[in-house]
A and B are shown apart, each in its own frame.
Chain A
Amino acid sequence: MKLWWKSGAPWIWLNAGAVAVSIIMVLGLIGLIAVRGLSHFYPTEIVEFQVGDPELGLGQMVMGEHVRAETIPVPVARDAGINVPPELGEDELVTRHLIKQGNRDVTGNDFAWYAELQMSEWLAPRDAMRLERREWGDFYGYAVRVLEDDEVVAEGEGLWDELQSRVERANTLFRELRQIERNDVGVISAEMEELRIRERALQRDPNVEPDQLQTQLDQIQERQGVLQEAFQALSAEIDILRSELHRDTLVATVVGGEEVQIRIGDIVRAVQPNNLSLTAKVVEYLQQFWAFVSGEPREANTAGGIFPAIFGTVTMVLLMSMIVSPFGVLAAIYLREYAKQGPLLKLIRISVYNLAGVPSIVYGVFGLGFFIYTLGGSIDQLFYSERLPSPTFGSPALIWASLTLALLTLPVVIVSTEEGLARIPSSVRQGSLALGATKSETLWKVVVPLATPAMMTGMILAIARAAGEVAPLMLVGVVKLAPTLPVDGTFPFVHLDRQIMHLGFHIYDVGFQSPNVEAARPLVYATALVLVILIIVLNLTAISIRNRLRERYRAATD
């Protein structure tokens, strides 16, 4: 034993343990996110049981999905307000279950803890259903009948199929309605706003002749009239669609037996999870996942999908890479190939490298102060003065977010490109020069093509960093809920002055600023999963490109 200790073997094992702990932490973390994020879409069984005071006998019926269980000592349970029978000692443990019981409009809170010692057996009624609604969260209960304009159209047998087809119809109508409200009405109101601003600018302009002013104002008014008419036509159409949407009603009972009326127009999705076969469950799972990735958020981001966040992240990152790649690559080429090597350059290089380690929030502060207030403010003064005091570019926006992140990732691209350039054997360069090529020809036809993979690596790393960065974005352009996407069908199609939603910020906002943390929790995990997958894929690509590259040059130089 003493010998073993002296040989230092225990230390080796401890060091090995440190690696193992780190690896387990990484895998555990990714596993945790994956399990929590992926399980959110699985149609969980709906359970029904009775709870009640042990003394009073069983009472209240509970129905919902089991979220998680927890084992806690009795004092903790008492502190948490659980009614623990007095005969249980301080040193015992109780188990409690978190049940998602939905029906926020009926019961007030959709999540509740129930202690196991007060529960009856759990049942899983086959016809229990879950309704995903546009408001008030999920609904749990039993379908009773479907009404069309207060007439019963389905009851008992065939009720479920009828309900499904009517939900389908309502969803189609809802999408149409959305389309009109978003696009057609949006176009009109955008033009109205434009006219209003022009009118104001004209009235303020001292250089316009009075009669000219009048004709122009008349033109504006005429156009406003036309738009007004178009708007009225649209709102009539919207009214019709809306009354169509609210034609059908579902009557359902909640777990206590109380009857509730739910407009089918408010239902996004109706499922009877206990009645699904395994294949149906898989299909349901995939549909839910797709709805999450492609849908829009609802109810203060605590339900629905994350499409605007994905879209915003991707747009912002693309714009950023368009800015950062040419400048990063050119700067790296300059530093490596053209700049006079010396102590000054060494200093500059170290500084540039170190900017990669500067806290991202500092870039955010710079972006807010310089880009938004200084640059954006001046742009507004020069080009959008008629809209002031409401800012156009003088407030957080897509372009500023991209620029800030471009600045933030510039060192990453420079470092990676320079490394690639440095790796190219000087024999290749000298060979090109010896054949009479000029420096620029050597550079562009020999060196740069060889260094492309390194540049790609730098770009991918930059994109991965930008996609995960949140702190600076909180200052320069990200919002919790953007009414419009930054790219759409109205001129100029890419709206650089709009604010965007962002996956990382979505996680922060939904997880920490949300009024209903329990309901938001699975969504946060799912969002985190999407972000983690995106970033891991990007990073692994970069790593594999780099490794292949190293192999190649090792072979070339040997």
Chain B
Amino acid sequence: MNDTSQRPLSGQGRSLLPSPEQRERLRRKRAFKDSFSRYGIGAAGIAVVLALGMIFVYLFSEVMPLFKSAQVTTQQTYSVPGVGGDEALEHLTIDRHDTLGASFTDTGRITFFDLDGGDLRASFEVPRPEGASRSAFATAFATTRAFAYGYDNGDISLGQVEYAITYPDNLRHIEPELEFPLGEEPLTLDEEGRAIQVLGLQVSDRGIYAAVELDDGTLMVTSFDVQENIMTGAVTVEQTTAELPGFDGSARQILIDNRFRHLYVSDDAGYIHHYDIGNLDDPQYRGAVQVTDSGYVSEMVLLNGTVSIIAGTSDGQVRQYFPVRDAQNQHDLTHIRDFARYEAPITHIAAEHARRGFLVGDEQGSLGIHHATAGADVFDARMTEGPLVRIAISPVNSMALFADENNQLQVAEVSNRHPGISFSSLWQRVWYEGSSQPRYVWQSTAGGDEYEPKMSLMPLTVGTLKAAFYAMLFATPLALMGAVYTAYFMSPRLRGKVKPTIEVMEALPTVILGFLAGLWLAPFVENHLPAVFSILILMPIAMLVFAYLWSRLPEGLRTAVPDGWEAVILMPLIVLVGWACVTASPHVEIMFFDGSMRQWLTNTGFNYDQRNALVVGIAMGFAVIPTIFSIAEDAVFNVPRHLTQGSLALGATRWQTVVGVVLPTASIGMFSAVMMGFGRAVGETMIVLMATGNSPIMNFNIFEGMRTLSANIAVELTETAVGSSHFRVLFLAALVLLGMTFVVNTLAEIIRQRLRKRYGNL
């Protein structure tokens, strides 16, 4: 301290000690600094630990919404606008912006109202033929907003709701309109004028189909082809009608898919009859499935995509069916899965517009929300006292309307963001539409709203394990044997060179390993397949032969090479064997594999991808070797010397000492090394991304690729919508990875610490 010069001089001469006040001040300053440093460091340290902990918390918080069950909260109740006392409510809808509702009565009146308060906005009457009365009603799939009324003179009228959106004063204004795609005049379906009893309708960009059951039991299907004259704008409608073969009993409901290939009729005896109407000149009856033996199908709907049917029965069952292609390429309506059973007959089912979810109401007023792909029952509650007559769900799944038998309407907010994800949809076989059996599939996106996302994590997890397995198969023996040799036999000078080399190997960026694997190794392996396998077999044999010959060499020559240099002597041999195998490879191919081993493999029934598990195994094994090596080498090296020396003193050979003393002591450490290596192999991204074809397949064929969890995240995460189910499933994949590696690493770390303690005791 050089502040002595500033110290005041006291009367009795110069004291080198500071005055008490100054000491006090200094002490206070030091104490302040001390506590400042204590709390500052404490705060920073805790902040860092929390920040790292936040990774877990954040990933969890992104994943949790996937498993939240749905919620429905009724906000308002009023009587259904536009439905008179003697009229019945046929249908309810909500517009895309959740502002307008619409009610359809059996008398042909359509009334639009504000969802908020139920004020009337507009009302339309569907024109009907003179003297006829309405006898049937049908809607096409909800996204088309098309509906039809059938009359007792064999006519129908077909309408479509449109919402015109304008922005006066920068505020959205929605004006409901009614359009008639086939013209405002009713169309005659049955020339003989028989009454329509049951009506089915489907509309898509491929055309318009209507199917009816007439009062004498005749089943008919009609397609409407609309031709618009470009010059005059006049619309002509061409009708093609086919009569369908009948069945015993009478129809309750008719559904048609939007590709116009399948037609389904439910009857009053619990059956659904299936017709193939792909060719209207020759419609086929494809048989019937029995939905229930103690009642009838009280309600059925098509789900989004119009492939699946959800059938609700009078004894409370809810079951899913869709056509499955059999060996003869014929479609048969097949039972797929059941949903939670209801206590009362099902009254109404409403399909969600863009997902494969649906809402079910029953006669006791219970409401259930389900999702077909996930096989999930996400909501269940009693909504009304009496039967739940009609349900409407908004196109964005955020609002629902429920009407009871007294025409009381509940406007409810629905929160049901990720019904399509459940434990079973992620980890179990799922029977997807269009496939012939339940399968594990990862195919998260494809064009179109009608696509059924297939998000099974199984193929990705299996791919991850497959890649890790082959990498470990390659790396474990090399790394462990190398570690034993380096730690126990190698001369210290050489060890001082080998360890840094291995550490450099660990630090090599995996993107470089991946690119070499993809661009160099994969084509090389493809062209030199025999070389790869012959190296695997010949290399150890060559080493042993060399070792034996070495032991026969004259003493003088052998002692010229110092102890612990075996690895160096072997290097030329290894290079030589490798070179020989590669050079011989084309000749081997010609001699044994008709010129191309790859072709030979394909002919024998193994698929061969250029970028396959073999390549990944070698490249990722390369990345894993140093991890295993360093930890295992540490474990072997730290085996107390007095143990080994005791063993040697008792007359054991060096190798016997290794097997009898070193390995048992170090085995736990080596096990933890392998686990660490496995942890690294599981999470590696770039190598698998670059060295495999990234196709999500479920097998362990060494000649095929895979898609791992990590590569999948890297490929898909930036391309998905924030907050969507897909986005959150990818976060779940990250969480699975994090969990897997964290558990494995923690176990390995705990084992290692135990081991250290044990060595300390020895």
**Interchain CA distance A7-B52 in the complex, whole Å:** 52
Complex CA gap A90/B543 in Å reads: 34
Within 8 A of A (CB), among B404-430: none
Whether B48 pairs with A362 at a CB distance below 8 angstroms is no
CB contact under 8 A between A373 and B722, given known A4-B548, A365-B717, A470-B686: yes
How many chain B residues touch A (CB < 8 A): the figure is: 118
Q: Which of the 9-residue segments B203-211, B394-402, B481-489 touches chain A?
A: B481-489
Whether the Cβ atoms of B59 and A365 lie closer than 8 Å is yes
Instruction: Give per-residue flags for B50-80: 1 if the beta carbon is below 8 A from chain A beta carbons, else 0.
Output: 0111110011001000000000000000000
Q: Which residues of A contact B746 (CB under 8 A)?
A: 350-351, 354
Partner of A366, one of B58, B571, B629: B58
Tell me if A465 and B481 are in contact (CB < 8 A).
Answer: no
Q: Flag if B48 contacts A410 (CB, 8 Å).
A: yes
Q: Are B503 and A444 in contact (CB under 8 A)?
A: no
A21 touches B574 (CB 8 A): yes
For B544, give the chain A residue with the smallest CB separation.
A10
Query: A19–B38 contact, CB under 8 A?
Result: no
Residues in B neighbouring A438, C-beta threshold 8 A: 30-31, 33-34
In the docked arrangement, what's the CA distance between A333 and B546, Å? 54
Bound CA span A423–B500, Å:
21
Given contacts A16-B485, A24-B571, contact A350 B749 (CB under 8 A): yes
Indicate if A293 sits at the interface (CB-CB under 8 A). Answer: no
* Segment with Cβ contacts to B, from A71-79, A267-275, A281-289: A71-79
Residues facing A in B636-681 (CB within 8 A) are 653-656, 658-659, 676, 679-680
Query: Which of chain B's residues 196-247 have a Cβ closer than 8 Å to chain A?
Result: none
B window 481-539: CB within 8 A of A: 481-482, 484-486, 489-490, 498, 500-505, 507-516, 518-520, 527, 539
A12 touches B489 (CB 8 A): yes
In the bound complex, CA of A7 to CA of B657 (Å): 11
B41 contacts A by Cβ under 8 Å: yes
Known: A365-B59, A467-B509. Contact between A90 and B590, CB under 8 A?
A: yes
Q: Are A8 and B655 in contact (CB under 8 A)?
A: yes
Report whether B710 and A359 are in contact in the complex, using a CB–CB cutoff of 8 Å: yes
| Interface members, chain A 523-537 (any B CB < 8 Å) | 524, 528, 531-532, 535-536
A20 to B543, CA, bound (A): 11
A15 at the interface (CB under 8 A from B): yes
Q: In the docked arrangement, what's the CA distance between A256 and B156, Å?
A: 76
Contacts between the two chains (Cβ within 8 Å), count: 342
Q: Which residues of B contact A464 (CB under 8 A)?
A: 507
Q: Chain B 418-445, CB within 8 Å of chain A: the 1/0 string?
A: 0000000000000000000000000000
Query: Is A508 within 8 A of B686, CB to CB?
Result: yes
A122 within 8 A of B: no
CB-CB nearest in chain A for B35:
A440
Main secondary structure of the interface of A (DSSP, over half): helix
Question: Which of B30, B46, B718, B753 interacts with A475 by CB under 8 Å?
Answer: B718
How near does chain A come to B555, taking the closest CB pair, in angstroms? 15
Q: In the bound complex, do residue A358 and residue B738 qualify as a contact, i.e. CB atoms below 8 Å apart? A: yes
With most chain B CB atoms within 10 A of its CB, the pick from A8, A10, A369, A543 is A369
Chain B contact residues: over half helix, strand or loop, or mixed?
helix
B508 and A468 within 8 A (CB): yes
> Which residues of A have CB within 8 Å of B34?
438-441
Add 20 more A-B contacts to A22-B505, A333-B45, A528-B515 (CB < 8 A).
Answer: A9-B551, A15-B482, A25-B622, A75-B596, A330-B45, A338-B41, A358-B55, A358-B745, A362-B55, A362-B737, A366-B55, A369-B59, A369-B731, A410-B51, A470-B509, A475-B718, A508-B690, A524-B519, A531-B509, A543-B503
Give B residues with C-beta under 8 Å from A: 30-31, 33-34, 36-38, 40-42, 44-49, 51-55, 58-59, 62, 477-482, 484-486, 489-490, 498, 500-505, 507-516, 518-520, 527, 539-540, 543-544, 546-548, 550-551, 566-568, 570-571, 574-575, 586-587, 589-591, 594-596, 599, 622, 625, 629, 653-656, 658-659, 676, 679-680, 682-686, 689-690, 710, 713-714, 717-718, 722, 730-731, 734, 737-738, 741-742, 745-746, 749-750, 753
Q: Which residues of A are interface residues toward B (Cβ below 8 A)?
A: 1, 4, 7-27, 29, 32-33, 70-76, 79, 90-93, 326-328, 330-331, 333-335, 337-339, 348, 350-355, 357-366, 368-370, 373, 407, 410-411, 414, 438-441, 443-444, 461, 464-465, 467-471, 474-475, 504-505, 507-508, 511-512, 517, 521, 524, 528, 531-532, 535-536, 538-540, 543
